[in-house]
Amino acid sequence: MGYLFIQHGSYQCVPVDEQPELDAGYVHLHRGIGDAKVFRFWDSFRTGAASRHASTWEKYARLQFDVLSRSDLSFNSIHDRAKRAETGHIRDDTWMTDALATERGLDIEHDPWTHALWDAAHQSFALRRWVSENKFGPHRVVCRTPLTNIRITTFFAGEHEVRVLDPSRVELLDAIGCEVAVEG
Domain span holding position 101: 2-183
Q: What is the pTM of this model?
A: 0.79
- Give whole-number Cα distances, 56 to 1, 95, 171, in Å: 42, 20, 22
pLDDT, mean of each 10-residue run, the chain (184 residues): 77 88 95 90 62 81 82 72 58 76 92 85 86 86 93 68 85 93 74
- Looking at the structure of the chain, the number of domains it has is 1
Closest CA to 81 of 71, 60, 69, 95: 95
Estimate to the nearest angstrom the gap between the alpha carbon of 76 and the chain centroid. 15
Question: Which pLDDT value is given to residue 131?
Answer: 87
Three-state SS annotation for the chain: CEEEEEECCEEEEEEHHHCCCHHHCEEEEEEECCCCCEEEEECCCCCCHHHHCHHHHHHHHHHHHHHHCCHHHHHHHHCCCCCCHHHCCCCCCCCHHHHHHHHCCCCCCCCHHHHHHHHHHCCEEECCHHHHHHHCCCCEEEEEEEHHHEEECCCCCCCCEEEECCHHHCEEEEEECCEEEEEC
- Residue 21 confidence (pLDDT): 96
pLDDT of 62: 87
How high is the pLDDT of residue 155? Answer: 55
